[in-house]
Structure 1
């Protein structure tokens, strides 16, 4: 079984293959921040510390929210990412209030 290590919160969890990263975090209290869970807001941005090769392909929503440069630096949206092997992820406490405001605007615009 693949193992997910949430470096920032210090949790390590065994999961089934093809499991969504954000849903795993929610279910097992991995603490990845999020607002919408659908690729609209970008608040579930994580950095892949290890195991990039064990993830699903990058989705269009990720490119739209993060940009090519962040993707190349190893960032992904947890809500759009599925796990197929061992992976370690981290996220920052970078200005969460600002990210939450942006997320709410994007969610409202999509409705």
Structure 2
């Protein structure tokens, strides 16, 4: 079984192959920040520290929310990413504050 290490929260768990990264975080209290869970807000942005090759392909919503530059730097949206092997992910408080502001604007725009 693949393992997911949530570097920021200090938790490591084993998951089924092709498990959704955000749902895994929610279920096992990995603490990945999120607002919507559907690729609209971008708050579940995580940095893939290790295991880039052990993830599903980048989805269109990720390109739309993150842009090619952030994806090239190793960022992914946890809600759009499936785990196929061992990975380590991280996020920062600075990211969380900034992303919460962006998320609120996007959610307000949809309503």
TM-score normalised according to structure 1 size = 0.95
Task: Provide the C-alpha distance between the structure 1 equivalents of 2:96 and 2:73, rounded to a whole number of angstroms.
Answer: 20
Aligned with 2:53: secondary structure?
helix
Q: What is the Cα deviation at residue 3 of structure 1?
A: 0.3
Q: Residue 108 of structure 2 aligns with which residue?
A: 108
Q: CA deviation at 1:48?
A: 0.3
Of 65-74 and 92-101, more deviation after overlay is shown by 92-101
The 2-side partners of 1:91 and 1:73 are apart by 13
Q: What is the distance in 2 between the residues matched to 1:84 and 1:3?
A: 9
How far apart, in 2, do the equivalents of 1:6 and 1:95 lie? Answer: 15
Q: 1:68 and 2:59 equivalent? A: no
Q: Distance in 1 between matches of 2:94 and 2:18?
A: 29
The CA distance in 2 between the partners of 1:39 and 1:95, in whole Å, is: 16
In the other structure, the counterpart of 1:51 is 51
Q: State the alpha-carbon separation in 2 of the partners of residues 95 and 27 from structure 1.
A: 22
Pair 1:93-2:99 in alignment: no
- 1:102 deviates by 1.5
C-alpha separation between the residues in 1 aligned to 2:30 and 2:108?
27
Q: Which residue of 2 aligns with 1:37?
A: 37
1:51-80: CA deviation from partner (whole Å, max 9, x where unpaired): 110100000110111110000000000000
Aligned residue for 1:9, secondary structure, equals: coil
Q: 1:95 to 1:84 in 2, by over 3 A?
A: closer
2:14 corresponds in structure 1 to 14
Q: CA deviation at 1:95?
A: 5.3
Q: How many residues get paired?
A: 111
